[in-house]
Amino acid sequence: MTTADPTVTAATTPASEQALVDSNTGMKVFAEMLAGVLLYGGLGYLGDRLFHTSFLVVIGLLLGIGLSMYLVFRRFWGAKV
C-alpha cells in the first residue's frame, strides 16, 4: 500500500495527469451550464403550457444561463459574487 506524497503539486504532476484534471473541470463546467439551462428552460416551458403564454420559456432560459454562470464562477473560480 502506498501513501500519497504531500509534496506533489500540479507543477510536479505529469502533463497527462494535469490534462485529465483540466478536462474533468471542463466537463463539470459544461454539465453545470447545461443542467441550469435545461432545468430553468424546462420550468419555463411547463409554465408556458400551464398558463398559455409564450414568454416564460425565454425568461427561464435567461434565468438558467445567469444562475448557472453564477454557480460556475462561485464553485470553480472562488469568485466572491
pLDDT digits (tens, 9 = 90+) for 35-51: 999 999 999 999 999 99
Q: How many residues does the chain have?
A: 81
Burial 13-49 (b: 16+ CB within 10 A, else e): eeeeeeeeeeeeeeeebeebbeebbeebbebbeeebe
pLDDT digits (tens, 9 = 90+) for 4-46: 555 555 555 677 777 767 778 888 999 999 999 999 999 999 9
Q: What is the DSSP letter of 31?
A: H
Domain ranges of the chain: 35-81
Residue 37 pLDDT: 96
Tell me the pTM: 0.69
